Amino acid sequence: MDDLFSIIIDNEKFRSTNYLWNKLRLNSPYSVGYVTTLIESKVFKNKEEWRDFYFQSGEERLDKMHNLGLTDKDKSQLKWQQLAGSHGRTESELKGLGKQLYQEVERQGNSLGITLPECVWMVKYRVIGETWNGVIAREQNTIKTLQGDFPELTFKSCDGETDYRYGIDYEVFDGDERIVAIQIKPDSYRKGRSKAILNAKKSNELKNEAYTEKYQAPVLYIYATTKGNIINVDVKATLSNLIKDREDLVS
């Protein structure tokens, strides 16, 4: 699918590095940042915009470190750790992680003949691609869950411009009438208290209010896993009540 990052190398090679990826702690926030927090900090129109944002955030991190006189020798300092977690990495930095992965693959014997460029690609895919794909999978699987519970409703995916303007993922229709809009998020968004998440929540609240004012329809937040399991199950009752209220009005 065009809206997902695809695996472009041999799957056996990719899976074989899972253990080393975790062993080397290349997936830690101090290596790549809190990627879930970063991707939830704003609305991205497509996967390319997310990728570019991640790399740009890495450039901003290096600039801030330079201004503070910090280097990677200062990893024990709180300010270094805060910057490491709250920002992405440059493309060059991810290439460096790919080199670390490749060196460990070589030390392990490299029985599959994995190359350095393949290791660099694996790092980029795990950090940028899997993070994005998880967001898309969450939305699609959650809609499947909702469609099963409410077969009479139509769930229409919003385009990038609508999502950006109103902070919503889908509009829900009963027949021709719009009854609600929904935003699908991971539970970490609901619980998040970082500055980036709080700013995103405030921004989305204003966008949601603008949507409700224009269309006279509320915005519901659904917190779900990537498999589409809805965590705040009470939202289903809220949706049922909205349907019932509409039926009462037209009866």
Shared domain for 124 and 219, answered yes or no, is: no
Look up the CATH number of the domain holding residue 230.
3.40.1350
Do residues 204 and 167 touch, judged by C-beta distance below 8 A?
yes
| Nearest of 132, 129, 123, 125 to residue 26 by alpha carbon | 123
Do residues 199 and 38 touch, judged by C-beta distance below 8 A?
no
Residue 127 CB neighbours (<10 A): 22
194 or 14: which carries more pLDDT confidence?
A: 14
Shared domain for 30 and 126, answered yes or no, is: yes
Task: Measure CA 203 to chain center.
Answer: 17
- The number of folded domains in the chain is 2
Shared domain for 65 and 181, answered yes or no, is: no
Shared domain for 193 and 229, answered yes or no, is: yes
For residue 89, the SS3 value is coil
Look at residue 2 and tell me if it is in a domain.
Answer: no
Look at residue 5 and tell me if it is in a domain.
Answer: no
Per-residue pLDDT tens for 220-236? 999 999 899 999 999 99
Predicted structure pTM score: 0.77
Q: Could you write out the DSSP letters of every residue in 113-166?
A: ---HHHHHHHHHIIIIIHHHHHHHHHHHHHHHHHHHH-TTSEEEEPPHHHHHHH
- Residue 193 structural domain: 137-250
Shared domain for 67 and 174, answered yes or no, is: no
Please state, rounded to an integer, the average pLDDT across all residues of the chain.
92
Per-residue pLDDT tens for 25-68? 998 999 999 898 888 888 888 899 999 999 999 999 999 999 99
Q: Which of 90, 110, 136 is the last residue of a domain?
A: 136
Sign of CA dihedral 39, 41, 46, 50: negative
Shared domain for 243 and 208, answered yes or no, is: yes
Per-residue pLDDT tens for 166-189? 989 999 999 999 999 999 998 888
Per-residue pLDDT tens for 31-43? 999 898 888 888 8
